[in-house]
Amino acid sequence: MENKPHNKLPEGIIWKALSHEPQRRPPGWYLAFALISLGLIIFGLYSHSILTVVTFCVIIFSVLLLGNLQPSAVTYKATKTGIALGNTIYPYKIIKTFWIVYNPPEVKTLNFETTAYFNNQLTLQLGNQNPMELKRFLNQYLQEDLNREESMTDTLARRLKI
């Protein structure tokens, strides 16, 4: 009989979670959004700036379109070589650091800072994945940033339900 050490970490971790947390918006949210949107468009018209009106219309359309996308199920993998989100792989050599924000049921995310110039932060949903198991695994390959928390934009977006 072979003795296996109890603290041996797995070769990789695979979990499934939604691509993003769905936002449940009350009817009052849509009323407030409509009033604010109308106010912004009226402001653009009042200031005689077609560019302002077009910009506000694009922002309003984007918030409505992207905010109502249904989340999809994604398979996430943490392996010896990197992190995979479906078919997209991020090798550890392009990831600077990671941090976990775990405040259920509101926030359960794994976050990365990459070497990319734009969009250098990546947020993955944890779903039912044990954050401590994932943290122990990732600490073998990446530096954890213990001082990072949920970004202000993520907090604001979650609270405004956008």
Q: What is the pLDDT of residue 10?
A: 67
pTM for the full model? 0.75
Helix (H) / strand (E) element for 50: namely: helix 50-67
Dihedral-angle region of residue 104 (phi above 0 means left; psi in -120 to 50 means alpha; beta otherwise): beta
Question: What is the structure's pLDDT at 162?
Answer: 77
Enter the DSSP assignment of 145.
Answer: -
Instruction: List average pLDDT for each run of 10 residues in the chain, which is 162 residues long.
Output: 49 88 85 93 92 94 86 91 90 94 89 89 91 94 90 82 76
Among 100, 71, 93, residue whose Cα is nearest residue 13: 100
Name the CATH architecture for the domain at 13-20+73-160.
Roll (2.30)
What pLDDT score does 1 carry? 43
Phi, psi of 95 (to 5 degrees): -105, 120
